[in-house]
A = this chain, B = another copy of it.
């Protein structure tokens, strides 16, 4: 499995992180992509998705439950059961998947930017966080499951990722 053992020996150091995509969000997106690739009328079993993407299957079940409650997938129990997307893949932005699985996209100290208040020289911090959030939203709201599943990201996103400097460490 190329994805790195989900829970065990992955990263050497667990750093503090200013911005992180959680395992939940990552798994949720990958599961949704698997469903997008399967097509609108084929339904996949949780176990199949888990195996394909190297996700602990009981953990995945919980995540798929969230996606269902969030209205992104529909499920069917029983012998021929499984999950499939509730809407066409090109109408589901990645942002939706992350939000449903993980809550708001961006927050500061557990508070959403518009609810913060700063004083003194920090007053302009709020517009800054808002700008960052707007930017993240723009990207993740523009890119859909269909884009990623087809490996055809929009040009403006691709050009961001093409900058070699974007791939360096710090």
Contacts and interface: CB of A to CB of B under 8 A. Distances in A.
Interface of A: 1-6, 10-11, 13-26, 29-30, 33-34, 36-37, 52-54, 66, 69-71, 94, 98-125, 127-137, 139-140, 143, 147-149, 151-153, 157-158, 160-161, 163, 165-170
A33 B106 contact: no
Number of chain copies forming the complex? 2
A4 B166 CA distance: 36
Q: Which one of A20, A54, A111, A127 has the greatest number of beta carbons of chain B within 10 Å?
A: A20
B16 A166 contact: no
A122 B150 CA distance: 9
Contacts of A115: 11
9 contacts: A1-B101, A2-B119, A17-B102, A26-B109, A113-B167, A122-B148, A128-B157, A130-B167, A134-B163
Given A30-B125, A130-B161, A107 B1 contact: no
Contacts of A66: 1-2
A16 to B, nearest CB: 4
Given A1-B103, A33-B125, A137-B166, 6 more contacts: A10-B110, A11-B111, A18-B105, A30-B125, A124-B152, A132-B140
